[in-house]
Amino acid sequence: DARGHHGGRGEAQQDFALYYFGPASGPDADVLLDQRQLAPTILSRLGAPVPPTMKAAPFLRE
């Protein structure tokens, strides 16, 4: 944010980008993703188990 802090609930703190080059399909370009989907997506791409505490679904699919 303007004070140099991170991890807040403001729009600027919740935006993220992920560039993935590999065999998967993602959502349409106009779909707004939830940042909670990022960790499960990375874990699933690595072939690692997604903990049951992570409730958001991965946004990249085979």
The per-residue pLDDT for 50 is: 97
Q: Which amino acid is at 35?
A: Q
Digit-coded pLDDT (tens) for 5-62: 666 667 666 777 788 888 899 998 888 888 899 999 999 999 999 999 999 999 998 8
Domain ranges of the chain: 16-62
Q: Which amino acid is at 33?
A: L
**For residue 24, what are the CA distances in angstroms to 14, 35, 36, 58, 59?**
24, 19, 19, 11, 10
Bin 57: left if φ > 0, else alpha if -120 < ψ < 50, else beta: beta
